[in-house]
Amino acid sequence: LYRDEVYDIESPDQGMAEVLVAKHRSGPTGRVKLAWLSHYTRFADMARTNDSPPPEEY
């Protein structure tokens, strides 16, 4: 887990976290962006900002 605001208080990425998936059995690796809800001490899915349809697998 990485939150830039922990290391840079004036970061433009306030309220955002990133999960780095290095290994995943039978699945993709990479980075996943999450919303950080500090008043609940909780992570949540980021809202999608584009209007593209969901992937075909859904």
- Report in angstroms the alpha-carbon separations of 27 from 3, 22, 23, 31, 51: 24, 11, 8, 13, 26
Domain coordinates in residue numbering, the chain: 4-45
Residue type, 50: N
**What are 1-36's pLDDT values in tens digits?**
999 889 998 988 888 999 999 998 999 999 999 999
- Within 1-58, residue ranges assigned H as helices are 4-7
Q: Is the entire prediction scored with pTM above 0.85?
A: no
